[in-house]
Structure 1
Amino acid sequence: MPFKKTDLVGYAFVAPMLLGIAVFFLYPMLASFDLSFRNANGAADSARNLNNYAWIVRDPNFWSAVFNTIYMAFLSVVTGLVFPFVLASLINSVRWGKGLFKSVFFLPNIVSVVGTAILFTYIFYPTEQGLMNSIIGWIGFDEIGWFSDPRYSKYSIVLMGLWGSLGYNTIIFLAGLQSVPRDLYEAAEVDGANPVQKWWYITIPYLRAIFVFIIVIGTIGSMKRFGDVWMIGGNAGNPNGSLLTIVLYIYRNAFEAYQIGIGSAAAFLLFVIIMIFSLLNLRIFGKNNVD
């Protein structure tokens, strides 16, 4: 297609955005990639080599962070699919108050990660002063160290993240449910389908694209988990390193130990991990989407 002078107007409009992307995203990314091959400590660096990557793959803390990140990401994606979808189905079935329900369940999404962490610190306080321990103590169970016991800390973080993302995912599912053609349900009723069969054979397949979207976005967001685990477990990812994630590992090396090269190398390993999981999700769940 030949170039036209009138195209210059379009390029002029998009030039500021492209310049901003190049200055604030592309250049820092390339500079960080270059630092990943250097023994950089923030003040000086050495020649390019693979020492940073070799050091990381031999570091047991890195593999512990990878396991914690993937484990919590899996739980977050599963709960972020099941609960919002069921909740959206329930809201969609009511005849009044849909706007109220949407507003109430979406409110936690606008709360910052810091505010959410502070709130759940009181809810999951390890003694009977905490809300959850007060409830289970009233029922007759022993107190649980939600954030202080390595056996429960990951699940507590996942629950805290679910509370924050529940409303957003519910709104996305609700929008998809309201777009399903009514004649599909009417035809299914004529064929004698019950509500569960209509939900399984019509609703879920029709929302396949939304499921894929939430799985991919949820995986990426969970793999980048940092703020909540840092607020709860500190720089070490306590208790006992059970909340150490890859991003927290990057932060510790780059901004506490001042090993910028190691932090940059870990960041690009995280990029590769996220890319692999995203491609796998699209490969497994992205087939035969309903148009």
Structure 2
Amino acid sequence: MAIQSEPSTNKSFQTRQSKKKFFTSKDLAGYVFSAPLVIGVLVFAIYPMVGALILSFQKSSTTFGGDWVGLANYKSVFTDSIFWKSLYNTLYMGVLSVILGVSLSFILATLIYNVPWLRWRNFFKGIYFLPNVVSLVATSILFQFLFNSGSEGLLNYVLGFIGVEPIGWFTNPNVSRFSIVLMTLWGMLGYNTIIFLAALTSVPRDLYEAAEVDGANWFKKWYYITIPYLKPIILFMVIMSTIGAMKRFTEVWLIGGTGGNPAGSLMTVVLYIYRNAFSASQMGIATAASYILFMFILILTVIMLYFNRKNNFE
């Protein structure tokens, strides 16, 4: 009997020792320094999320809540044709910006990485990253000048020399969404390129040297070594770019206003949430739409991670 009770005695002793180690004075400094971050997350992240979730089940014009209406707000969002149009616009611009942004930035990073002179390499890094230090407001004003629908717009002025009629970049519903994608690419390429440049330095040079011995050219080395080795980074950039594209707001609000003009082609989901919350004073519907957007982004992220894991196992 004494032999059987010995393991439990040792286990209780280890538990007491672990509790003593957890609350030692040496760890007190760590708890103190991490407290502001924990409090900040609780106050500015967890509390607003929980509050918004509760508010999405209420009929309210303010953030202080109102009458409980259950799933009525979610039903109003799902039966609203404007919401579905905003979701289509968001996906349309998001898919284009992610495909073009990630692929072009990866190609640019590869080209810059292969520049033999370090000074020129740093020069190109600065040039492509420069748009990221410019605010979206200034960027929107700049592109309003470049994409002005009249002949006074710089791009239309240049196209006029080759006989092309002025294009309504921000006034034609069939062109405006693509114009927003071009505008966001201007700033998106710099950030992604810097990330890919940092990732390219982690590829072992031995792999390239072995491929050269086997007679592989630059394209085969890039396709069969660089891309597979950087697959986790590419997936990370795709996920982060997708999340950013699904939250598109500032540029479409500055260009098209709260109506997402022209003809609602620039109405995104976040702009739909903003218009219901602050223009229509329907905070319950706005918070319901925000949680629908959250679940949509979560589902997209899980799907991408699932297919990436499936391909890795195969």
Q: What TM-score do the two structures reach when normalised by structure 2?
A: 0.89
Verify the 8 A CA contact 2:248 2:270 in the aligned structure 1: yes
Equivalent residue, structure 1, for 2:42: 22
User: How far did residue 287 of structure 1 move?
Assistant: 5.3
Among residues 121, 126, 130, which one is paired with 1:103 in the alignment? 126
Equivalent residue, structure 2, for 1:113: 136
Counterpart of 1:25 in structure 2: which amino acid?
A
CA distance in 2, matches of 1:14, 1:62: 41
1:134 and 2:134 equivalent?
no
1:88 and 2:109 equivalent?
yes
The Cα offsets for residues 175-223 of structure 1, whole Å up to 9 and x where unpaired, read as 1122211111110011111111111000111110110111000000000
CA distance in 2, matches of 1:250, 1:284: 31
User: How far did residue 131 of structure 1 move?
Assistant: 1.4
CA distance in 1, matches of 2:36, 2:200: 39
CA distance in 2, matches of 1:44, 1:75: 38
1:35 and 2:58 equivalent?
no
- 5 Å-filtered alignment, 1:6-17, equals 6=24, 7-17=27-37
CA distance in 2, matches of 1:266, 1:134: 41
CA distance in 2, matches of 1:201, 1:119: 40
CA distance in 1, matches of 2:65, 2:207: 66
Verify the 8 A CA contact 2:261 2:267 in the aligned structure 1: yes
CA distance in 2, matches of 1:242, 1:27: 34
Equivalent residue, structure 1, for 2:225: 202
Verify the 8 A CA contact 1:209 1:286 in the aligned structure 2: no
Deviates more, 1:2-11 or 1:238-247: 2-11
The Cα offsets for residues 65-101 of structure 1, whole Å up to 9 and x where unpaired, read as 1111111111110011111111111111111200111
Verify the 8 A CA contact 2:58 2:65 in the aligned structure 1: no
Verify the 8 A CA contact 1:120 1:160 in the aligned structure 2: yes
User: How far did residue 12 of structure 1 move?
Assistant: 2.6
RMSD of aligned residue pairs (Cα, Å): 1.5
Aligned-residue sequence identity (percent) comes to: 53
CA distance in 1, matches of 2:262, 2:283: 26
1:222 and 2:245 equivalent?
yes
Closer/same/farther in 2, CA of residues 243 and 90 from structure 1, 3 Å limit: same
Which runs of structure 1 show a deviation greater than 6 angstroms over 4 or more consecutive aligned residues? Answer: none
Closer/same/farther in 2, CA of residues 285 and 76 from structure 1, 3 Å limit: farther
Among residues 170, 174, 178, which one is paired with 1:147 in the alignment? 170
Equivalent residue, structure 1, for 2:12: none
* Corresponding residue pairs, total: 290
Verify the 8 A CA contact 1:212 1:286 in the aligned structure 2: no
User: How far did residue 8 of structure 1 move?
Assistant: 3.7
CA distance in 2, matches of 1:152, 1:284: 33
The Cα offsets for residues 219-269 of structure 1, whole Å up to 9 and x where unpaired, read as 000000000000011000011000100000000001111001000100100
The Cα offsets for residues 12-51 of structure 1, whole Å up to 9 and x where unpaired, read as 3212211111111111111111000001112761024111
Among residues 268, 276, 297, which one is paired with 1:253 in the alignment? 276
Among residues 35, 38, 54, which one is paired with 2:75 in the alignment? 54
Q: Which has the larger radius of gyration?
A: 2
